[in-house]
A and B are shown apart, each in its own frame.
Chain A
Amino acid sequence: EAGVVQSPRYKIIEKKQPVAFWCNPISGHNTLYWYRQNLGQGPELLIRYENEEAVDDSQLPKDRFSAERLKGVDSTLKIQPAELGDSAVYLCASSLGSGEDLGETQYFGPGTRLLVL
């Protein structure tokens, strides 16, 4: 079974440029998460989708970040315009259920490493 797929793996852009990250979760997984991991820290949740609905986007900086999961499968996270402080690893994860089972395992992709110059 394929795991969570993310692309690109690496991205270098200049500040003020737009950038987009793509995630394809494990087949059949209803819940999808986007995390940001700064250097030397643990991941922090940006947004959680249950199917195509964003059920928690409280940590998403909405002035420059946007996300979508139109058909409840794959998802795109966008930053426009990027700032120097956005340099981080952006991780996508998925889990099987609808979010009611708090103990459910989240499966992570390899991440996209973003460097903003």
Chain B
Amino acid sequence: AQSVTQLDSQVPVFEEAPVELRCNYSSSVSVYLFWYVQYPNQGLQLLLKYLSGSTLVKGINGFEAEFNKSQTSFHLRKPSVHISDTAEYFCAVILRKDSSYKLIFGSGTRLLVRP
């Protein structure tokens, strides 16, 4: 079973509109959840992460995400996007097995902001 699923491969949105990028995780993984952003020809940059505590997590560049245990979701939101937010967004979870762990990424969602 997929540890993390991003159902939307691409999300087009107009500038200044709100956006939500969806992420669902398998209930069998630990609840360490991350959102990374990848700009063209660059490495990944952490937007935000949920480890414990408040279910609403605020990150950089005006993004926020809400951890929903009952729906096993960790959707990313921004109330008003800019052209510069055009990038690939990856949801990720920590998968633990015995004494080992690894960061498992979803397949990514391309956010395309149009003027």
A contacts, CB < 8 Å to B: 3-4, 33, 40-45, 48, 55-56, 58, 91, 93, 99, 102-103, 105-111
Contact = CB atoms under 8 A, between A and B. Distances in A.
Contacts of B100: 55-56, 58
Chain B facing A: main interface SS? strand
Contacts of B83: none
Interface in B1-48: 9, 30, 32, 36, 41-46
Given A102-B30, A102-B94, A102-B96, A45 B41 contact: no
Contact of B43 (A58, A99, A110): A110
Interface of B: 9, 30, 32, 36, 41-46, 49, 51, 90, 92, 94, 96, 100-103, 105-108
A55 B90 CA distance: 25
Contacts of B51: 103
B106 A56 contact: no
Nearest to A10: B41
A3 B42 CA distance: 12
A42 B106 contact: yes
B108 A56 contact: no
